[in-house]
Amino acid sequence: MNKDEIKQVIPHRDPMLLVERVEIDENGTATGEITIRGDEYFLQGHFPENPVVPGVIQCEMMAQACCVLLQDKVKGKTPYFTGMDKIKFRRVVKPGDTFRTTANITRSRHPFYFAAVKAAVNGEPAAEGELSFVIK
């Protein structure tokens, strides 16, 4: 799925659409990617002379890949975070990096959904944890 196809599934739009490509495999795992260009709004002032993607933005990137997994439930609705648990940041994410997320829905009780997420840059762990959503 490219960015235009992703826009058909989730309600996010620029500058808050934070996933450029998503693929879903036969096991129900979403793999999402975004390459950090360096001119993103969230890098302004974080930090001057040493731009770093904020952790909360990394969580949003992972969450958007999760929402594509829920495409049949999200269309026409809005997914909201209800929780982030056991989030760990393993490395700094900087301009030029491609942030690759893998996401799996671990359980659900409509309208609540729970996911395990991991992210890497160049195969090196960047972030991981558990996210939960409600879809309204």
Positions annotated as catalytic residues are 46
Selection from 115, 113, 124 nearest residue 89 by Cα: 124
The terminus-to-terminus CA distance of the chain in angstroms comes to 24
Judge contact between 58 and 96, C-beta under 8 A. no
Pick from 56, 62, 73: which is nearest to 31 by CA?
62
Phi, psi (rounded to 5 degrees) for 88: -130, 140
Please answer whether residues 134 and 109 qualify as being in contact, where contact means their C-beta atoms are separated by less than 8 angstroms: no
